[in-house]
C-alpha cells in the first residue's frame, strides 16, 4: 500500500489527490497532510482520512483545528514551515505528493528527498527556483521524482521504454489561458474576475493567472529542462486550444508520441501515485469522434513575453529562475489584490529579472537569498 504524505491538501491538486485515495482505499492511505489556513475543509479531510500528522499555515490555524477536533481522535498538529517539513519526511509515508503553490515547496521537497521518499511533484516552483540543487540531491539519494503536471506527466509517459539519446525534442502544449483570443490592446483593462475564468481547467487563482500570462508555460519549460535533462533548444511550446493532447515527444526518426485525454488532473495524479501500475479511474473517456477537430497554433512569444523571458532566464541559469519565480509570485499577488493591472505583471517580473546580477552556480542559501531579494524588489518596482 502507498502511504501518502500530502502537501497542499485543500488546494485543487490536493483535493483531487484525496479523491483518488477515496476511490482506491485498498491501495492508498493518507498518513500525513499539510494545508494553509482553510480550516473548514481541512477539518473535514482530517475526519475522513484520519492522518497521523497534520500541519497548518500558522499557530492560529493550529489552535482552531484543535478546537474543531475537540472530543475526537486527534492527529498530531503542527504548523508553519517546520510543520511542512515534518509532514514531508513523516516516517510512515513512502510517497510524498507536493501540491503546495510557490517556492514554499522547495524546503519540504528537499526534506522528502533526504528521507528517501518517492515524490509526486505538482509544484512547478520547486524546480524553477532550485532545480540544480533539488535534482542533484535526488540523484545522489536515488529518489524518484514523478511529475504530476499534466504536460510533464504526458512527456514522462511518452518516454517510457525509450532511450533519452533518441529524443529530438519535447513539445509542451498550452491552452492559451483566459485571454488567448484577445490582442494586447484588449488586455489593458481586464479584471481579476475575467483573468480567473480559465477555459479548460479548474485551478487555483495563482495558477490560473499564470496560465493567462503564459508564465505557467515558462515554468513548465524550466521544469522540463530539469526533469528530463534536456537543453532548452529541445523544448518547444505550441498552442492547443482543446487541452486534449497534453504534450508530445518527437524522436530522431521523426516519430511523435503524444499522450491524450480529457482535461482531468486525477489522471496524472493517479498515474504518479500508482506508477508503474495503471488503475481504473472513473472519469470521462476521451471521445475523439465527438471532439472531431483539434486546433493548434504557433506560439507567439511577442504576445506572451513572460514565456520568452522564462527561456532567457533558464538559459542564463544560476539564480535567474529563482528570481523569475519570486518576482512573478509577488506580481500576481499584487494583481489579485487590485494594486496593479494585468499587463503590469509582465513589467514587474521583467524589471526585477533585469536588475538581478545572478549567481552562476548557486548553493541553496544563494537561491533563498535571491528569492528574498526579488520579492522585496518586485514589491516596489512599479
Q: What average pLDDT does this structure show over 178-199?
A: 82
**Residue 124 labeled ligand binder:** yes
**Residue 250 labeled ligand binder:** no
CB 195 within 8 A of CB 214: no
**Residue 13 labeled ligand binder:** yes
The pLDDT of residue 277 is 96
**Residue 338 labeled ligand binder:** no
**Residue 126 labeled ligand binder:** no
| The dihedral sign for the CA sequence 253, 173, 203, 371 | positive
58-75 pLDDT per residue, tens: 999 999 999 999 988 899
**Residue 246 labeled ligand binder:** no
d(CA 262, CA 282): 12
- Which of 98-107, 184-193, 214-223 is least confident? 184-193
**Residue 73 labeled ligand binder:** no
The pLDDT of residue 229 is 97
**Residue 210 labeled ligand binder:** no
- Average pLDDT of every residue of the chain: 95
**Residue 94 labeled ligand binder:** no
98-139 pLDDT per residue, tens: 999 888 999 999 999 999 999 999 999 899 999 999 999 999
Domains of the chain: 2-147 (3.40.50.720), 152-316 (no CATH)
Evaluate if residue 198 carries a pLDDT over 70.
no
Q: Buried b vs exposed e over 277-306: b needs ≥16 C-beta within 10 Å?
A: eeeebeeeeeeeeeeeeeeeeebeeebbbb
Estimate to the nearest angstrom the gap between the alpha carbon of 129 and the chain centroid.
12
**Overall pTM > 0.85:** yes
Amino acid at each position: 500500500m502507498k502511504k501518502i504524505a500530502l502537501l497542499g491538501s485543500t488546494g485543487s491538486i490536493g483535493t483531487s489527490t484525496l479523491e483518488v485515495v477515496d476511490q482506491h482505499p485498498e491501495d492508498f492511505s493518507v498518513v500525513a497532510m499539510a494545508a494553509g489556513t482553510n480550516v473548514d475543509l481541512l477539518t473535514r479531510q482530517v475526519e475522513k482520512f484520519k492522518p497521523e500528522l497534520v500541519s497548518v499555515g500558522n499557530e492560529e490555524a493550529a489552535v482552531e483545528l484543535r478546537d474543531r477536533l475537540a472530543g475526537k481522535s486527534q492527529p498530531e498538529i503542527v504548523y508553519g514551515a517546520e510543520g511542512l517539513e515534518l509532514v514531508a519526511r513523516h516516517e510512515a509515508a513512502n510517497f510524498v505528493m507536493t501540491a503546495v503553490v510557490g517556492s514554499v515547496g522547495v524546503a519540504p521537497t528537499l526534506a522528502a528527498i533526504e528521507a528517501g521518499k518517492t515524490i509526486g511533484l505538482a509544484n512547478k516552483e520547486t524546480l524553477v527556483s532550485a532545480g540544480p540543487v533539488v535534482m542533484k540531491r535526488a540523484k545522489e539519494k536515488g529518489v524518484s521524482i514523478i511529475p504530476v503536471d499534466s504536460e510533464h506527466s504526458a512527456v514522462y509517459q511518452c518516454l517510457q521504454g525509450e532511450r533519452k539519446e533518441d529524443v529530438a525534442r519535447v513539445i509542451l502544449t498550452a491552452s492559451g489561458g483566459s485571454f488567448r483570443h484577445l490582442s494586447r490592446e484588449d488586455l489593458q483593462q481586464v479584471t481579476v474576475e475575467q483573468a480567473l475564468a480559465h477555459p479548460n481547467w479548474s485551478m487555483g487563482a495563482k495558477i490560473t493567472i499564470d496560465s493567462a500570462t503564459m508564465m505557467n508555460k515558462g515554468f513548465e519549460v524550466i521544469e522540463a529542462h530539469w526533469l528530463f535533462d534536456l537543453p532548452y533548444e529541445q523544448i518547444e511550446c505550441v498552442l492547443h486550444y482543446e487541452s486534449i493532447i497534453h504534450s508530445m515527444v518527437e524522436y530522431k526518426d521523426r516519430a511523435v508520441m503524444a499522450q491524450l485525454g480529457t482535461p482531468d488532473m486525477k489522471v496524472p495524479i493517479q498515474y504518479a501515485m500508482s506508477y508503474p501500475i495503471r488503475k481504473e479511474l472513473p472519469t470521462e473517456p476521451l471521445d475523439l469522434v465527438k471532439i472531431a477537430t483539434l486546433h493548434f497554433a504557433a506560439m507567439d512569444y511577442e504576445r506572451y513575453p513572460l514565456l520568452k523571458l522564462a527561456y532567457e532566464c533558464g538559459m542564463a541559469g544560476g539564480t535567474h529562475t529563482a528570481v523569475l519565480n519570486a518576482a512573478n509570485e509577488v506580481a500576481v499577488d499584487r494583481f489579485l489584490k487590485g494594486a496593479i493591472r494585468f499587463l503590469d505583471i509582465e513589467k514587474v517580473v521583467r524589471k526585477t529579472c533585469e536588475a538581478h546580477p545572478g549567481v552562476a552556480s548557486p548553493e541553496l542559501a544563494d537561491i533563498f537569498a535571491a528569492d528574498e531579494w526579488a520579492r522585496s524588489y518586485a514589491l516596489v518596482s512599479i
